[in-house]
Amino acid sequence: MQKKIKKILIMDDNVSLLKLLKRLLEQLDFEVELTKDGAEAISVYKEEMKKGNGFDLILVDLIIDRGIGGIETIGTIREFDPNVKAIVISGELPEEIKEDHTKYGFDSFLEKPFQIEILKSAIEKVLT
């Protein structure tokens, strides 16, 4: 029996980081879709749901220079997919999010920079 490939949507305004995460996660056998802001992430997520595919996980940057950030993005996605799994990533995570990330709609959080092993561990924990 073939193992189902997990699909991850990543939202970050740092294009270099997006490309790096895509390459690393694909090496770990994930299918990865990239978006640069919340509006694009919401649109891509909705389109995949319409196709009956959806995503197993979304990684979102907390703060986006231009556009919708992580909290609003996850809040909107949870309106049409309350079971979405989400990890917030940020260089500067406020203490209140670290203390109670679930209150903001996140299943876990990571502070940039992070090692791939830490990311892999967080993803495995959220998806199990």
CATH code for position 86 = 3.40.50.2300
**Residue 1, domain member (yes or no):** no
pLDDT value of residue 67: 86
In this structure, is residue 2 part of a structural domain? no
Per the structure, the count of domains in the chain is: 1
Tell me whether residue 48 is in a domain. yes
> What is the structure's pLDDT at 1?
47
| 122 belongs to a structural domain | yes
Query: What's the Cα-to-Cα distance from 21 to each of 25, 30, 77, 126, rounded to whole Å?
Result: 6, 11, 22, 17
- Indicate whether 111 belongs to any domain: yes
Q: How far apart are CA 45 and CA 81, in angstroms?
A: 9
- Domain limits at 103? 7-127
Q: Does 56 reside within a domain?
A: yes
Percent helix, strand and coil across the chain, each to the nearest 5: 45, 20, 35
Neighbours of 22 (CB within 10 A): 17
DSSP letter for 105, please.
T
For residue 4, the model assigns a pLDDT of 72
User: According to the model, what pLDDT value does residue 99 have?
Assistant: 92
What is the full per-residue pLDDT of the chain (128 aa) written as tens digits?
A: 456 789 999 999 999 999 999 999 999 999 999 999 999 999 999 999 999 988 999 999 999 988 899 999 999 999 999 999 999 999 888 899 999 999 999 999 999 999 999 999 999 999 99
pTM of the predicted protein model: 0.93
